[in-house]
Amino acid sequence: MKRRRKALAYALTILLVVWAGSAILKSFYPLDYIDLIRQQAEKYGLDPLFVISVVHAESRFAAGATSHKDAKGLMQMKEDTAKWCADNMRLEGFTAEQIYQPEVNITLGVWYLNYLLGEFGGDYTLTLAAYNAGMGNVKKWLENPQYSKDRRTLDVIPYGETERYVKKVFNNYTIYKMLYGRNG
Protein backbone atom coordinates (compact mmCIF):
# COMPACT_ATOMS: atom_id res chain seq x y z
CA MET A 1 0.00 0.00 0.00
CA LYS A 2 2.85 2.36 0.91
CA ARG A 3 4.55 1.68 -2.45
CA ARG A 4 1.34 2.44 -4.29
CA ARG A 5 0.98 5.81 -2.56
CA LYS A 6 4.60 6.65 -3.32
CA ALA A 7 4.16 5.65 -6.98
CA LEU A 8 0.97 7.69 -7.21
CA ALA A 9 2.62 10.71 -5.57
CA TYR A 10 5.57 10.36 -7.95
CA ALA A 11 3.28 10.14 -10.99
CA LEU A 12 1.27 13.17 -9.84
CA THR A 13 4.49 15.13 -9.31
CA ILE A 14 5.66 14.30 -12.83
CA LEU A 15 2.30 15.35 -14.27
CA LEU A 16 2.44 18.62 -12.34
CA VAL A 17 5.97 19.36 -13.56
CA VAL A 18 5.01 18.58 -17.16
CA TRP A 19 1.87 20.72 -16.91
CA ALA A 20 3.75 23.64 -15.31
CA GLY A 21 6.51 23.35 -17.88
CA SER A 22 3.94 23.42 -20.67
CA ALA A 23 2.24 26.49 -19.15
CA ILE A 24 5.58 28.28 -18.91
CA LEU A 25 6.48 27.38 -22.50
CA LYS A 26 3.08 28.60 -23.69
CA SER A 27 3.82 31.99 -22.14
CA PHE A 28 6.89 32.20 -24.40
CA TYR A 29 4.98 30.85 -27.42
CA PRO A 30 1.56 32.50 -27.22
CA LEU A 31 -1.27 32.35 -29.75
CA ASP A 32 -1.67 36.11 -30.13
CA TYR A 33 -3.78 37.08 -33.16
CA ILE A 34 -4.64 33.41 -33.72
CA ASP A 35 -8.20 34.06 -34.95
CA LEU A 36 -6.97 36.48 -37.59
CA ILE A 37 -4.05 34.22 -38.49
CA ARG A 38 -6.28 31.15 -38.69
CA GLN A 39 -8.77 32.98 -40.93
CA GLN A 40 -6.08 34.06 -43.41
CA ALA A 41 -4.12 30.79 -43.21
CA GLU A 42 -7.21 28.73 -43.98
CA LYS A 43 -8.02 31.02 -46.91
CA TYR A 44 -4.69 30.03 -48.50
CA GLY A 45 -4.39 26.47 -47.23
CA LEU A 46 -1.56 27.16 -44.79
CA ASP A 47 -1.09 25.77 -41.31
CA PRO A 48 -1.90 28.59 -38.86
CA LEU A 49 0.91 27.37 -36.61
CA PHE A 50 3.38 27.83 -39.45
CA VAL A 51 2.17 31.41 -39.92
CA ILE A 52 2.27 32.15 -36.20
CA SER A 53 5.83 30.76 -36.15
CA VAL A 54 6.77 33.37 -38.76
CA VAL A 55 5.07 36.15 -36.76
CA HIS A 56 6.89 35.00 -33.62
CA ALA A 57 10.25 35.10 -35.43
CA GLU A 58 9.56 38.40 -37.16
CA SER A 59 8.10 40.62 -34.43
CA ARG A 60 7.27 38.53 -31.36
CA PHE A 61 3.71 39.84 -31.80
CA ALA A 62 4.59 43.56 -31.65
CA ALA A 63 2.18 45.16 -34.15
CA GLY A 64 4.12 48.44 -34.06
CA ALA A 65 7.54 46.87 -34.64
CA THR A 66 9.95 48.39 -37.16
CA SER A 67 13.22 46.64 -37.98
CA HIS A 68 16.60 48.21 -38.67
CA LYS A 69 15.84 47.47 -42.35
CA ASP A 70 12.51 49.34 -42.12
CA ALA A 71 10.30 46.25 -42.20
CA LYS A 72 7.07 46.92 -40.36
CA GLY A 73 4.34 45.30 -38.32
CA LEU A 74 3.65 41.80 -37.13
CA MET A 75 5.02 40.06 -40.22
CA GLN A 76 7.72 42.67 -40.84
CA MET A 77 6.65 43.75 -44.31
CA LYS A 78 8.74 46.28 -46.20
CA GLU A 79 6.67 49.01 -47.81
CA ASP A 80 7.57 48.06 -51.40
CA THR A 81 6.77 44.37 -50.77
CA ALA A 82 3.51 45.25 -49.01
CA LYS A 83 2.52 47.52 -51.91
CA TRP A 84 3.40 44.81 -54.44
CA CYS A 85 1.28 42.30 -52.50
CA ALA A 86 -1.63 44.74 -52.18
CA ASP A 87 -1.50 45.47 -55.92
CA ASN A 88 -1.46 41.76 -56.78
CA MET A 89 -4.30 41.11 -54.35
CA ARG A 90 -6.18 44.05 -55.85
CA LEU A 91 -6.63 45.70 -52.44
CA GLU A 92 -8.22 49.04 -53.14
CA GLY A 93 -6.92 52.12 -51.31
CA PHE A 94 -3.93 50.47 -49.64
CA THR A 95 -1.53 52.89 -47.96
CA ALA A 96 1.85 52.27 -46.33
CA GLU A 97 0.48 53.40 -42.95
CA GLN A 98 -1.83 50.38 -42.94
CA ILE A 99 1.16 48.02 -42.63
CA TYR A 100 1.00 48.46 -38.85
CA GLN A 101 -2.64 47.35 -38.70
CA PRO A 102 -2.63 43.67 -37.66
CA GLU A 103 -5.44 42.69 -40.02
CA VAL A 104 -3.77 44.29 -43.04
CA ASN A 105 -0.28 43.09 -42.13
CA ILE A 106 -1.36 39.49 -41.59
CA THR A 107 -3.51 39.51 -44.73
CA LEU A 108 -0.56 40.70 -46.83
CA GLY A 109 2.00 38.50 -45.08
CA VAL A 110 -0.02 35.29 -45.39
CA TRP A 111 -0.81 36.02 -49.04
CA TYR A 112 2.91 36.58 -49.65
CA LEU A 113 3.91 33.34 -47.89
CA ASN A 114 1.39 31.50 -50.05
CA TYR A 115 2.72 33.21 -53.18
CA LEU A 116 6.30 32.25 -52.29
CA LEU A 117 5.25 28.65 -51.60
CA GLY A 118 3.77 28.54 -55.09
CA GLU A 119 6.83 30.17 -56.60
CA PHE A 120 9.14 27.63 -54.95
CA GLY A 121 7.10 24.48 -55.49
CA GLY A 122 5.85 24.17 -51.91
CA ASP A 123 9.38 24.14 -50.44
CA TYR A 124 9.15 25.74 -47.00
CA THR A 125 12.91 26.30 -46.68
CA LEU A 126 13.06 28.22 -49.96
CA THR A 127 9.89 30.11 -49.03
CA LEU A 128 11.28 31.23 -45.69
CA ALA A 129 14.64 32.13 -47.23
CA ALA A 130 12.83 34.24 -49.83
CA TYR A 131 10.60 35.84 -47.19
CA ASN A 132 13.76 36.93 -45.36
CA ALA A 133 16.31 37.60 -48.11
CA GLY A 134 14.14 38.22 -51.14
CA MET A 135 12.86 36.05 -53.94
CA GLY A 136 15.54 37.26 -56.37
CA ASN A 137 18.35 36.24 -54.05
CA VAL A 138 16.95 32.75 -53.57
CA LYS A 139 16.54 32.28 -57.33
CA LYS A 140 20.19 33.33 -57.83
CA TRP A 141 21.32 30.92 -55.11
CA LEU A 142 19.46 28.07 -56.78
CA GLU A 143 21.36 28.76 -60.01
CA ASN A 144 24.72 28.71 -58.22
CA PRO A 145 26.21 25.19 -57.83
CA GLN A 146 28.09 26.46 -54.79
CA TYR A 147 24.72 26.77 -52.99
CA SER A 148 22.50 24.29 -54.85
CA LYS A 149 23.63 21.04 -56.47
CA ASP A 150 20.25 20.25 -58.03
CA ARG A 151 18.89 23.79 -58.70
CA ARG A 152 15.75 22.88 -56.74
CA THR A 153 16.91 22.93 -53.12
CA LEU A 154 19.53 24.87 -51.20
CA ASP A 155 22.48 22.96 -49.80
CA VAL A 156 23.85 26.19 -48.34
CA ILE A 157 22.11 29.43 -47.44
CA PRO A 158 24.85 32.00 -48.03
CA TYR A 159 23.42 34.71 -45.77
CA GLY A 160 24.01 33.87 -42.11
CA GLU A 161 21.03 35.99 -41.05
CA THR A 162 18.76 34.11 -43.44
CA GLU A 163 20.07 30.71 -42.37
CA ARG A 164 19.42 31.61 -38.71
CA TYR A 165 15.98 32.95 -39.61
CA VAL A 166 14.94 29.75 -41.39
CA LYS A 167 16.12 27.64 -38.45
CA LYS A 168 14.33 29.93 -35.98
CA VAL A 169 11.00 29.65 -37.79
CA PHE A 170 11.29 25.86 -38.05
CA ASN A 171 12.19 25.66 -34.35
CA ASN A 172 9.19 27.86 -33.50
CA TYR A 173 6.98 25.67 -35.68
CA THR A 174 8.15 22.49 -33.93
CA ILE A 175 7.46 24.01 -30.51
CA TYR A 176 4.06 25.40 -31.53
CA LYS A 177 2.97 21.99 -32.88
CA MET A 178 4.20 20.29 -29.69
CA LEU A 179 2.36 22.75 -27.44
CA TYR A 180 -0.88 23.23 -29.35
CA GLY A 181 -1.32 20.25 -31.67
CA ARG A 182 -1.50 20.37 -35.43
CA ASN A 183 -3.65 23.50 -35.94
CA GLY A 184 -3.60 25.31 -32.61
Verify that 61 and 104 share a domain, yes or no. yes
CA distance 159 to 128: 13
CA distance 43 to 45: 6
Verify that 102 and 17 share a domain, yes or no. no
pLDDT digits (tens, 9 = 90+) for 135-163: 999 999 999 999 999 999 999 999 999 99
pLDDT band at 178 (very low <50, low <70, confident <90, very high): very high
Cβ contacts of 44 within 8 Å, gap of 6 or more: 110, 111, 113, 114
Verify that 25 and 58 share a domain, yes or no. no
DSSP assignment of 44-107: TT--HHHHHHHHHHHHTT-TT-B-TT--BTTTTB-HHHHHHHHHHHT-TT--GGGGGSHHHHHH
Task: Say what the pLDDT of residue 3 is.
Answer: 73
Task: Say what the pLDDT of residue 8 is.
Answer: 56
Verify that 8 and 74 share a domain, yes or no. no
Q: Which of 58, 92, 103, 161 is catalytic?
A: 58
Residue 170, Cβ density class (10 Å: 0-12 exposed, 13-18 middle, ≥19 buried): middle
Structural domain harbouring 133: 31-180
Strand partners, 72: 66, 77
- Residue 57 is part of a domain; what is its CATH number? 1.10.530.10
Verify that 127 and 167 share a domain, yes or no. yes
Verify that 102 and 140 share a domain, yes or no. yes
| Catalytic residue status for 103 | no
Listed range (6-15, 106-115, 123-132) with the worst mean pLDDT: 6-15
Verify that 39 and 94 share a domain, yes or no. yes
Please say if the pLDDT value at position 173 is more than 90: yes
Mean pLDDT within 124-128: 98
Verify that 84 and 105 share a domain, yes or no. yes
CA distance 148 to 159: 14
CA distance 140 to 154: 11
Verify that 141 and 76 share a domain, yes or no. yes
What's the domain count of the chain?
2
Task: Say what the pLDDT of residue 117 is.
Answer: 98
